[in-house]
Structure 1
Amino acid sequence: MNNCTSINILRQRSSGILLPIFSLPGPYGIGEIGKEAFDFIDFLNDSKQKSWQILPTTPVAPLFGNSPYMSFSAFAGSPLLIAAQGLVEAGWLLETEIPSPSFSPFLVEYDKIESYKKELLQKAWRRFSQKPSFADTLEQFASTHPWAQDYALFVALKNKMGNAPWYEWPEGLRQHDSLACAQAQKDLLADVHYHLFTQYVFMKQWQALRDYARAHEVQLIGDLPIYVALDSVDVWVNQSIFQLDENTGEPTRVAGVPPDYFSATGQRWGNPLYRWNSANTEVETQLYAWWEQRLQHNFNLVDVVRIDHFRGFESYWSVPAEEETALNGSWQPGPGENFFREMTIRLGEMNIIAEDLGVITKEVEELRDSLDYPGMKILLFAFDGNPENSYLPYSMGKKSVVYTGTHDNDTAVGWYLSSEVAPEAKKQAKLFAHCSDDNAGSFHRELIYLAYGSPANLAIIPMQDVLGYGNDCRMNTPGTTTGNWQWRLTRSSLTPELSTWLGQQVELFGRDPQPKLKILAASQE
């Protein structure tokens, strides 16, 4: 597998924008893999941006607060992101069969979108399934996407079981017994085929989008959470590679992080832990094979992968499942460098960004550096008065990806307006941007100035900071379960003036690799 394209955004100065697919504009209540996504690539291209960073595109669920980081599949694509007009263009839906949309242009209303999209997809499925060759098409798709068959059966079973978690299913199904699953496949074949169809459509639309991005020299940066949800097809099918009770299927130990400045009891995430460093060679083989498949799948979708909670590969916080907090956990060794060396042997060079935020040890930094993976630098974390703060612009190395902020914290303007931010921090940020005023309205551009001018090879700006929006447009507030993952961009925000300004900043700070490449090519003629 070759994950490299003509311009390696991790090795040359360039810039990009962070915007989830679901935040794209459009009339159907949620961003889609359709016209608006293609138009956004055009905007990036016109703005001299070389990358588009997204959040995970896996299915979301109300049970998990619609978080893209907690899905019941690490491989499947969210049916909510399937473009309605794409169904029409494929001949599976008539224009007149699409109900007139009446959704908020500013927020994703998941409860409304779920039923709306399901109605469209089921209409498309009925027309698709009338073709004599539909079963062969789905069988061929499943043969090239091995995870899809398990996903379709899992969702069909969830529907039959009233959405009960898999570890509460009847014994044979709970244990993923081959005979029980074969019978369920037979009994639920129509529903299984429908869910296979949604994945077939998603992947077909996604491939068209990726081809368009490549043609316009925009690289896609994906996001891979290190852990998966307990109630997921991934754990159900691969129980042996997780730390689970063999009888109940429930976890014996779960993931989290230890107590720190932000939480006296730590954070108990509840995800099941992998059986890293198992003495059972069969478990080790299966675990590595699953990760190989997962990484391969992600690199089939995107050009670069950001690994969330990268530090868990060096060591991870293990919490007894019966504990209500993360207080009584312990550090356990992760798979370390050998894991990534093995994946590189199997998959080829991997373009990976290591999410190394939070309390990071020397050992984690050594692992990141030994693999030559860039880490993340967040400007909003820089201004605490400490001249040795590693997030300050002058402290960044070239092998870094600089962000103004992430999807988990304040927007730039929201940070500057926040009463919880010390006035000294705001003053320091302004001084770094060579500004003596206290104008919050221009702060986002001042922070972009600092990011673009930093030594970091790649600068990524959340779309909210490009536009100078406040915390009412914040993406996520950690520790809360409502009001997150809903913000949407409006089409009118992507103006020619904004594109021109971004392009000017790219040129000013030498973040357009193309002119250098053209000069080099001319000198060799």
Structure 2
Amino acid sequence: MAAKPRYQPAAIFNRRTAGVLLHPSSLPAPAINGRTPCSGNLGSSAEQYLNFLSRANLNVWQMLPTGPTHDDGSPYHSWSALAGNPDLICLNRLCQWGWVNSARLTLDSESSAINKTELAQLRRVACQGFKSFIASSAGHNVSKDFATFIAEQHYWLDDFALFYAIRTLHQGASWHQWPKPLRLRSQKALADIRQQCADDIFQAQFEQFAFYSQWCQVRRHAQQLGIALFGDIPIFVANDSVDVWANPDQFLLDPEGNPTSVAGVPPDYFSATGQHWGNPHYHWQTMQADGFSWWKNRVRRQLDQFDLIRIDHFRGLCAYWEIPAGSIDARAGQWVEAPGEALLTALFKEFDELPIVAENLGLITAEVEQLRTGFALPGMLVLQFGLDGEPKNINAPHHCEPINIVYTGTHDNDTTCGWLGSLNAEQQRHIAEYFSVSAAQLNHWTLIKAALRSVARMAIVPMQDWLALGAEARINTPGTCENNWSWQLDSTALSEQLASEIAREINRFDRTGDPLPTLEFMHP
């Protein structure tokens, strides 16, 4: 029997780096004709933010998934695993490019803010301007680029645009509520839609081209500054998504397209009843039989956008929590084995280098760690989870290894200041003693410096922690549906003083990104 190949960490993990966790929607949003959008975007604020990272000597920008979101705004609840979120399109930038006349980007409402629905209305206005632009001599080159984009991305864009058009025709209803011929993809019904909804199909193509064009500009700017973009792949996809509608054979569905079981996790740190996510499970036998083509396309799209990518809930590639579709919470579920080794082997064969990070938080077994280490994938260590006083806690700083990526907290945690403030005096005293500081000295810098001084090759700190913000700046509370994903950075927060303070600590702990010897990974 041939020996298994020995994998090594990707080149980016052979540098000592530090970065920031901040989703683009949390960037300050420049006003559009005097009104402020509800979401940050890929325009001037993104470039200014990258410039700040450069001045602070930070060399990694980690963000959450960038797909189009449902009404809850969760980046982990997207209706496409391959498309970009049109809410991240900077309409002002389209005006600067000459695609749209800025005077046309007006709304009847007198509110000072532009909500998600109004943003969509403005994109329709922008699309009409784009049509006129590419029909003119001035838009000739952009018209060619647009046609090339549609041709090159047809493998996902065709179904996405159809899904968008049908969804719009049915006022945003889930595809499970569409008429049966559309729900089950009758070729005649889809051909009729292509004619009936040609304008909406063009709208979807335009929005994805605009997102792609602006993303490329942001990525070029990041590359010029030596900043790596760090993306995120939710392991599962939303039930109401083009992915499930267009690829029903890839998921465990009944003949009507309804999931037979759904995803989640058992009771854990965040919830006594577990988490009931509702995502349909993959039909792993079908996926494996066709060489995991759906996954290869998904990863290919992510590598087009990012320098490294995290697989959220990595343990689901080893075994996933299967909840009967009719259960109201997660406690009725059971663990079912998944072909993670076969999938990762196929992906590593497909791509020359695969800079993947495994989110290995929660209930992690020896089998999950064997899968991760067998492919030399970095795991995560979160300091907020490691300071409970238990010496054997794997998230404790003294258990950190070079292959770890160390975090003060993630998007699912409270901010460090908010978390410290929620602890009682005894818990604060223990943490202060652990770091050899007084209780009065214990603050956000205590955890930030612990992350920076660690042996981990990469350290990531949420922007809220760099800014010493409290619980009011928390972006998500797992298991809740209210007041999440809406926090935005103040436009004045990224000061030169803060950049200097961060740069000093980056230099102090040698996280400037210089090449280091290749990690010798311990293989099972």
Runs of 4+, deviation exceeding 6 Å = 100-104, 133-136
The residue number in structure 2 matching 1:397 is 401
The residue number in structure 2 matching 1:477 is 477
The residue number in structure 2 matching 1:522 is none
Distance 1:316 1:242 in 2: 14
One-letter amino acid of the structure 2 residue matched with residue 392 of structure 1 = A
One-letter amino acid of the structure 2 residue matched with residue 73 of structure 1 = S
Residues 234-293 of structure 1, C-alpha deviation per residue, up to 9 Å, x if partnerless?
0000000100002x11000111112346544322211000011x2x5xx53447111000
Q: Secondary structure at the match of 2:330?
A: coil
Q: Decide whether aligned partners of structure 1 residues 386 and 380 sit closer, same or farther in structure 2, where only a CA change above 3 A counts.
A: same
Which one of the candidate residues 428, 431, 452 is aligned to 1:429? 431
Q: Secondary structure at the match of 1:153?
A: helix
Q: Secondary structure at the match of 2:329?
A: coil
> Does the alignment pair 1:140 with 2:142?
no
The residue number in structure 2 matching 1:97 is 104
> Does the alignment pair 1:252 with 2:260?
yes
Distance 1:449 1:179 in 2: 61
The residue number in structure 2 matching 1:209 is 218
Distance 2:295 2:152 in 1: 17
Mapping of residues 411-430 of structure 1, within 5 Å? 411-418=415-422, 421-430=423-432
Distance 2:46 2:357 in 1: 23
The residue number in structure 2 matching 1:175 is 184
Residues 323-381 of structure 1, C-alpha deviation per residue, up to 9 Å, x if partnerless?
22222222111112221111111122110111010111011111111111111111111
Which one of the candidate residues 194, 212, 225 is aligned to 1:185? 194
- Checking the alignment, whether the CA contact within 8 Å between 2:20 and 2:462 is kept in structure 1 is yes
Distance 1:89 1:252 in 2: 49
Q: Secondary structure at the match of 2:331?
A: coil
- Checking the alignment, whether the CA contact within 8 Å between 1:80 and 1:113 is kept in structure 2 is no
Where structure 1 has 5 or more consecutive residues not aligned to the other structure, the ranges are 1-6, 518-525
Which one of the candidate residues 31, 37, 49 is aligned to 1:40? 49
How far 1:454 moved relative to its partner?
A: 0.8
How far 1:11 moved relative to its partner?
A: 2.1
- Checking the alignment, whether the CA contact within 8 Å between 1:9 and 1:457 is kept in structure 2 is no
- Checking the alignment, whether the CA contact within 8 Å between 2:234 and 2:313 is kept in structure 1 is yes
Distance 1:232 1:13 in 2: 38
Residues 271-323 of structure 1, C-alpha deviation per residue, up to 9 Å, x if partnerless?
000011x2x5xx53447111000000001001010110000000111111122
Which one of the candidate residues 124, 131, 151 is aligned to 1:129? 131
Distance 1:461 1:85 in 2: 30
Over the matched positions of the two proteins, sequence identity in percent amounts to 38
Q: Secondary structure at the match of 2:218?
A: helix
Distance 1:499 1:138 in 2: 38
Residues 47-106 of structure 1, C-alpha deviation per residue, up to 9 Å, x if partnerless?
1111000111111222xx2101001111111111101221112212223334499888xx
- Checking the alignment, whether the CA contact within 8 Å between 2:288 and 2:343 is kept in structure 1 is no
- Higher mean C-alpha deviation, range 229-238 or range 345-354: 345-354
> Does the alignment pair 1:292 with 2:296?
yes
The residue number in structure 1 matching 2:121 is 119
- Higher mean C-alpha deviation, range 188-197 or range 140-149: 140-149
Distance 2:198 2:513 in 1: 51
One-letter amino acid of the structure 1 residue matched with residue 55 of structure 2 = D
Aligned length: 494
- Checking the alignment, whether the CA contact within 8 Å between 2:14 and 2:515 is kept in structure 1 is no
The residue number in structure 2 matching 1:520 is none
Distance 2:27 2:300 in 1: 26
Which one of the candidate residues 149, 159, 174 is aligned to 1:165? 174
- Higher mean C-alpha deviation, range 422-431 or range 464-473: 422-431
TM-score normalised to structure 1 length: 0.90
- Checking the alignment, whether the CA contact within 8 Å between 1:229 and 1:271 is kept in structure 2 is yes
Q: Secondary structure at the match of 1:459?
A: strand
TM-score normalised to structure 2 length: 0.90
Structure 1 vs Structure 2 CA RMSD: 2.1
- Higher mean C-alpha deviation, range 334-343 or range 123-132: 123-132
- Higher mean C-alpha deviation, range 127-136 or range 369-378: 127-136
Which one of the candidate residues 15, 19, 31 is aligned to 1:16? 19
Q: Decide whether aligned partners of structure 1 residues 259 and 115 sit closer, same or farther in structure 2, where only a CA change above 3 A counts.
A: closer
- Checking the alignment, whether the CA contact within 8 Å between 2:21 and 2:61 is kept in structure 1 is yes
> Does the alignment pair 1:200 with 2:200?
no
The residue number in structure 1 matching 2:280 is 272
- Checking the alignment, whether the CA contact within 8 Å between 1:308 and 1:354 is kept in structure 2 is yes
Distance 2:357 2:269 in 1: 26
The residue number in structure 2 matching 1:386 is 390
One-letter amino acid of the structure 1 residue matched with residue 509 of structure 2 = F
How far 1:171 moved relative to its partner?
A: 2.0
Distance 2:464 2:89 in 1: 24
How far 1:195 moved relative to its partner?
A: 1.2
> Does the alignment pair 1:88 with 2:116?
no
How far 1:491 moved relative to its partner?
A: 2.0
Residues 157-176 of structure 1, C-alpha deviation per residue, up to 9 Å, x if partnerless?
01112222212222221112
Distance 1:416 1:295 in 2: 37
Mapping of residues 345-356 of structure 1, within 5 Å? 345-356=349-360
Where structure 2 has 5 or more consecutive residues not aligned to the other structure, the ranges are 1-9, 31-35, 518-524
